[in-house]
């Protein structure tokens, strides 16, 4: 199986981290992975996105123009990437910030009130983890345990007290779809 996805949001929503966690988790499971960020001044205040491939075969093009999966954390990201999704693909979108519904009818669509759930858990900044949980609930491309290992690796030791909270967020996201 090959999962090709674009994760997008505004700078600060943690989409780059989301992508790195998926890539890292895939790597620890012996899968082939790549992570490609958007770069340059467009990141300043604007939207940021990364392209992630998780596969059981060597990754060909790290740049994906027709992703199977898009996670959109804000409206500009959904506007930009909705049309690019392959027919039959998946769109996970942050319905806390995106008020319009997706236009596509030939794809699967999952609305995740990521910021609302994150706020309920007491920290707005883990909305990305809620969305990631929902994505993995729909497409279990890596084990949740591997994501937690990746998180432990990504967070500096003085942030490790946040691990349980992140786990809760992932869990809430997953339960939402499962």
**Residue 84 in contact with another protein, rule: CB under 8 A:** no
Q: Near another protein by CB under 8 A, which window of 39-47, 91-99, 105-113, 128-136?
A: 39-47
Q: Report if residue 88 touches another protein, rule: CB under 8 A.
A: no
Binding another protein (rule: CB under 8 A), the pick from 6, 9, 47, 59 is 59
Distance of alpha carbon 133 from alpha carbon 178, whole angstroms:
10
Buried b (16+ CB within 10 A) or exposed e, 127-154: bbbbbbbbbbbbbebbebebbbbbbeee
Residue from 12, 45, 87, 178 binding another protein (CB under 8 A): 45
Q: Which is nearer to another protein, 58 or 122 (CB)?
A: 58
By CB under 8 A, tell whether 148 contacts another protein. Answer: no
Q: Is 36 helix (H, G, I), strand (E, B) or coil?
A: strand
Among 36, 71, 90, 141, contact with another protein (rule: CB under 8 A): 36
Q: Tell me the three state secondary structure of residue 148.
A: helix
Which tokens hold the place of 103? 């236009």
């Amino acid at each position: 199986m090959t999962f090709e996805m674009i994760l997008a949001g505004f700078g600060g929503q943690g989409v780059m981290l989301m992508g790195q966690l998926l890539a890292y988790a895939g790597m620890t499971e012996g899968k082939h992975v790549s992570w490609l960020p958007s770069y340059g001044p467009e990141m300043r205040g604007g939207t940021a996105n990364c392209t992630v491939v998780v596969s059981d075969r060597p990754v060909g093009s790290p740049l994906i123009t027709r992703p199977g999966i898009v996670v959109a954390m804000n409206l500009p990201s959904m506007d930009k990437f909705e049309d690019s999704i392959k027919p039959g693909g998946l769109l996970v979108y942050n319905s806390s910030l995106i008020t319009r519904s997706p236009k596509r009818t030939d794809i699967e669509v999952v609305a995740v009130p990521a910021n609302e759930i994150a706020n309920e858990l007491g920290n707005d900044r883990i909305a990305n983890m809620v969305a990631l949980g929902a994505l993995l609930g729909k497409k279990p491309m890596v084990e949740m345990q591997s994501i937690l290992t990746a998180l432990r690796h990504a967070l500096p030791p003085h942030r490790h007290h946040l691990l349980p909270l992140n786990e809760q967020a992932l869990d809430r996201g997953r339960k939402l779809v499962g």
